[in-house]
Structure 1
Amino acid sequence: MNTIIGMLLVIGSVVGGFILSHGHLATLLQPYELMIIGGSALGAFLISNPLSLIMKVFKGLPSLLGGSKYNKNAYLELLGLMYSLFVKARKEGLMAIESDIEEPEQSELFSKYPKVLKDHHALEYIVDYMRLIVSGGMNPFELDNLMSLELETHHRESEQPASALNRVADALPGFGIVAAVLGVVITMGSLDQPPQVIGEHVAAALVGTFLGILLAYGFVAPLSIAMEHRARDEAGYLEVIKSCILAQVQGYSPQIAVEFGRKTMVSSLRPSFQEFEEYLKEQR
């Protein structure tokens, strides 16, 4: 929602200010200038990035129109799942959760927490390391190193789409200048025309520069920053999983293990101790 409101505010402020300053809106409608800038930027984007990264960018852009899925309810479900897993493992033994982590989609325990079940990365992260714990053979220090290594790799990969989009934002003012230069070339070829025609060509050239700058700093750069925030939201979610699992491996009780995870959360999303207790009571 913030993305949509922000875009409308950018458009409304720029266009509204232009019209109130006695500008003619039709002057800004230069589809060929937009084609030069947008097409060139898209072409450069395709040249500079592998197909897999291009698909991630286009797949991630629509998700920015809504809010982040990593809200307080999502964190409550995550803590509830980790607590349930740890309690079952403590009461019935580690082998009791083997069927749950081997087929989480068929697990009655996991089915109580649909938000986690729908999150592919988080689900895979949980079941992979719980599977290692069940199989044994790794001490907490080794497990910590392995989990951190995977998180670092995941963080680098998840931030690549934002970085690729940010490079497009850096290039857009340059493509705006290209459009303006081409407009000047057209103007120079029309010097035998009436002043009104020449003025229209000059205006179109200047609009090219305007569009390049506006698209860069009003839309594409903010979208890249928003995409970066989404990547960090996911990273924080995975960090909570890591904290819970490591605490459990070190022998803490389920309640204390999930408390390690709760303390890892940012304050704006962290449920209070009482909220989590109430959530657990509702799940029973």
Structure 2
Amino acid sequence: MNAILGLVVTMVMVFGGYMLAGGKLGIILHSLPFEMMMIGGAATGAFLASNDFNTVKHTGGDVAAAFAGPKWKKNDYQDLLLLMHELLHILKQNPVDIEPHIEAPNESAIFTKYPRILKDHEAIEMICDTIRSMIMNFDNVHQVEELLDKHLESLLEEKLHGSHALQQMADALPALGIVAAVLGVIKTMASIDKPPEVLGGMIGGALVGTFLGVFLAYGVVGPFAARVKTIRSEEHLFYSMIGQVLVSNLHKNPVNICVEVARRQAPARVRPSFDEIEQAVRGLKQAA
């Protein structure tokens, strides 16, 4: 919603201010399709040339996420904490009993309670692989923490590829706008024998290219790149919470302490309260 509102405000303020100052949209609208074809086409071509298919695909998803907002909602953070509570409870009681759940999470009675988390390959892989290592007596806290940190770092880097690609496009747009403007000047110089009013319109059309390049860079693509980075960074905290729970468990903390440590890592606006988690855990115990 904020992305749409931001675009509307930007358009209204820029073009509204231009018209209130006495500017005429006719020259912009006349040149817009051609200038947009040159600038947008060049930017798209450069984007495709500088990125692989996976990055292009992820960037499309990132643009959609800029409108939809972060993937994980408050209920998802609560579900994650409950999932980790159940798994650690079994792990502390009898590590052998946890093996069927981590070897076949799609068939697990625990994992299937939380379908949104189960669909996320990165989350399930991190949980199952780390618990599997812990069962194999790989219980050196510092080694596990280092492995998780590296895993999280590589995961965040991958998630931010789309943001970096968009920012590179934003950085290139002003220069591409100048390219379009120079082509417009070349066209104008070829018609130097035309009347001044015609030449004025042609020069104005050429300057539309510079305007579009700068406007798209700092008014559209750049803000979207920043929003994508913010969204992906917030979503990354979901995976960081998994690491916090598992590392805290290796420090021999009680299950409720492990869950509380992770709860405090959740983004403030979607963080479940202590009482909400306590009530949900009581519900699990009663259901059991």
- Shorter-chain TM-score tier: over 0.9
Tell me what 2:274 maps to. 273
| Superposition deviation, residue 234 in structure 1 | 2.6
Maintained 8 Å contact 2:39/2:209:
yes
Q: Distance in 1 between matches of 2:19 and 2:245?
A: 56
Residues 7, 282 of structure 1: CA spacing in aligned structure 2 closer, same or farther, 3 A cutoff? farther
Give ranges in structure 1 of 5+ residues lacking alignment: none
Query: What is the aligned partner in structure 1 of residue 254 from structure 2?
Result: 253
Q: Does the Cα contact within 8 Å between 1:85 and 1:97 map onto a contact in 2?
A: yes
2-structure distance, mates of 1:277, 1:169: 46
- Give the TM-score of the pair, scaled to structure 2: 0.92
SS where residue 70 of structure 1 aligns?
coil
Q: How does 1:72-87 map to 2 (within 5 A)?
A: 72-87=74-89
- Deviations 1:141-198 (CA, angstroms, capped at 9, x unpaired): 2111111111122222222221121011011001111111111111111121222321
User: Which residue identity does 1:33 align to in structure 2?
Assistant: E
CA distance in 2, matches of 1:7, 1:279: 40
Question: Contact 2:111–2:118 (CA<8 Å) still a contact in 1?
Answer: yes
In 2, Cα distance between equivalents of 1:94 and 1:86: 9
Counterpart residue number, 1:119: 120
Aligned partners of 1:103 and 1:129: how far apart in 2? 15
Q: State percent identity of aligned pairs.
A: 38
Whole-angstrom CA distance in 1 between matches of 2:131 and 2:160: 26
Moved more, 167-176 or 137-146: 137-146
RMSD of aligned Cα (Å): 1.7
CA distance in structure 1 between the aligned counterparts of 2:12 and 2:26, rounded to whole angstroms: 15
Q: What residue in structure 2 maps to residue 6 of structure 1?
A: 6
Q: Residue 54 of structure 1 aligns with which residue?
A: 56
The answer to whether the 8 Å contact 1:77/1:115 transfers is: no
Alignment-mate amino acid for residue 50 of structure 1: D
Residue correspondences, number: 283
1:1-284 pair list within 5 angstroms: 1-29=1-29, 30-91=32-93, 93-283=94-284, 284=287
TM-score, with structure 1 as normaliser: 0.93
Whichever residue aligns with residue 204 of structure 1, its letter is: G
Q: What SS does the aligned partner of 1:64 have?
A: helix
Mean Cα deviation higher: 171-180 or 255-264: 255-264
